[in-house]
Structure formats: structure tokens, C-alpha cells
Amino acid sequence: MAYRRDNRDNQVQEGPEMIEKVVYLNRVSKTVKGGRVMKFSALVVVGDGKGTVGYGLGKAAEVSEAILKGIANAKKNMVTISLAGTTIPHEVIGVYGAGRVLMKPAAVGTGVIAGGAVRAVMEAVGISNIRTKCLRSNNPQNVVKAAMQGLMSLRSPEQVAAIRGKSVEEIVG
């Protein structure tokens, strides 16, 4: 009787625990001489829940492989977002292609008022109070990219004060 030693208990976790959300799965087919070849594409959002988020697109012959490729791609494209507590510092409209996402800060207790694709991004970032609306296109890929573009354009009062060479009180007050 052979025994196998398992080293899974000795694995070291790298960095903080990540929130991984599959936003959209798509089955695509290519017609070739022998028939149709089916493949899958997965749009994935990854975040730490503390202001860092990224998105990625993975394509493969199997769903699980596509999701793993999407997660790896998302981890490569992580960005840090300026937050104001549990919401965003100011109103912003993110634009990518035909997709537009309006994001407004909300008071504590409001929750995440957002559609599917934007909700996944907000939960991965760690924003728990926000109001959003998809304007024009609601294609998940363009909506996620528009939401990310809007979040990356956010500036905290400290950042604006540093750019203008003033104090935070002069800008806010």
C-alpha cells in the first residue's frame, strides 16, 4: 500500500485575501471545416475590499480555465482608488466606448445601488454606500471599463489641495 505525502497545508498565502467576482461569461463559437469550435470568455473583477481593484478578460476552451485566466489578468491590472470612508469623494461619470456610468456618493446606510456589472466592481473595491446608473450602453465589458475609468479619475481633497498648492480647508471650506 503506497502513501502519498500532501504538502497543501504548508502553502504560504501571498498578500491579502482577494475578492473575485465573475461579471460575465460568454460562450463564443468559431465555425471551421469540421463544424463549430466552442470557447468561453470570462470577465472577472478582483479587489481587496480596501480601495484596490482590477478587471480582466480570460478566454479558453473550458469555463474554469477562462475564469482563472481572467483572474490572473485582473491581478496584473490592479489600481488604487481614492475613497472617502465607505463611499467616493465626489460625483463622477465614467466613459468607455458607448458605456457611461454615473456614480454619486451616498450617506452611510444607503448601500450599493448599482446594476450587475457595476455592483461587482463596487463590492470588489470595498465601496458600501454609492448610487450608480448605467447610461447608454449596458454591455458588461464596456460598463466595467467605464466604471473603472470613473473610479480612477476620482481625486480626494488632499490630492486636489496638493495639485493646487493650497490647504485642504481652502478647497473644502
State the chain's mean pLDDT as an integer.
90
In a domain, 2, yes or no: no
Which of the two residues, 8 and 27, has the higher pLDDT score? Answer: 27
- Interatomic CA distance for residues 145 and 135, integer angstroms: 13
Give the CB-side neighbour count of residue 134, counting CA atoms within 13 A: 22
In a domain, 173, yes or no: no
Quote the pTM value: 0.86
Average pLDDT estimate for 52-79: 96
Domain count along the chain: 2
Q: Where is the domain boundary, 31, 63, 79?
A: 79
Q: Where is the domain boundary, 27, 55, 79?
A: 79
For position 61, what pLDDT does the model report? 95
Residue 68: which CATH number? 3.30.160.20
- What does the pLDDT look like over 79-123, one tens digit per residue? 999 999 899 999 999 999 999 999 999 999 999 999 989 999 999
Q: Does residue 46 contact residue 20 with C-beta atoms inside 8 Å?
A: yes
Q: At residue 16, does pLDDT exceed 80?
A: no
- What does the pLDDT look like over 111-162, one tens digit per residue? 999 998 999 999 999 999 999 999 999 999 999 999 999 999 999 888 888 9
Which residues form the domain of 53?
19-79
In a domain, 130, yes or no: yes
Q: At residue 25, does pLDDT exceed 90?
A: yes
What residue type is assigned to position 83 of the chain?
L
51 φψ region: left (φ > 0), alpha (ψ -120 to 50), beta (else) = left
First-last CA distance in the chain: 77
Residue 131: which CATH number? 3.30.230.10
